[in-house]
Amino acid sequence: MDALQEYTVYALMTGVGATLVMDIWGVLAARRFKFPPPNYALVGRWIGHMPRGRFFHAAIAQSPPVAGERFIGWLAHYSIGVLFAALLLTVYGPAWARDPTLPPALVIGLATLAAPFLLMQPGMGAGLAAARTPNPARARFRSVLTHTAFGFGLYGAALVARAVLS
């Protein structure tokens, strides 16, 4: 396998695996902390409005639905996970995937908080770092826990990918 193929396979396996860990965490956290379950259809709605030139919403749940929004949201969710895994491999090098360690995975996992805090939440009407939600501290706590789970998922999925590909 050449370097590009190796990078691509590790990014796919690690990103999908880490996102799956994040989703499992989301189900457990919804039960344990009484968080509402994530609704990726709303992410799909937000993305679905972008080709129409609408990037910001007062409240995405009140915006008109978009055809296929659930599919769009889930596809975006897993695609973004793969892109973040590719970021990890770009920052720490493909050698990291051959011998994964936890700290880089957690650093990238927490760095990915920039996406919801600075882009998604403001665009969907929740404000910068969920400032416009009924309980911003709780929303931020949820995001930190979720992205920490993603970081652990990056590490665990990289271990699985290494075992499968070695």
Per-residue pLDDT reduced to its tens digit, 2-45: 999 999 999 999 999 999 999 999 999 888 888 888 899 999 99
Cα separations in angstroms, 1 against 8, 12, 95, 140: 11, 15, 14, 41
**pLDDT score recorded for residue 149:** 98
CB-facing half-sphere around the CA of 70: CA atoms within 13 A:
0
How many percent of the chain have pLDDT more than 90? Answer: 91
Whether residue 58 contacts residue 125, with contact meaning beta carbons closer than 8 Å, is answered with yes
Residue 47 clears pLDDT 90, i.e. is over it = yes
Which pLDDT band, with edges at 50, 70 and 90, does 132 fall under?
very high
Q: What is the reported pTM?
A: 0.94
pLDDT at 34: 85
What letter does residue 120 receive in the DSSP assignment? I
pLDDT for 156: 98
> What is the model's pLDDT at position 36?
84
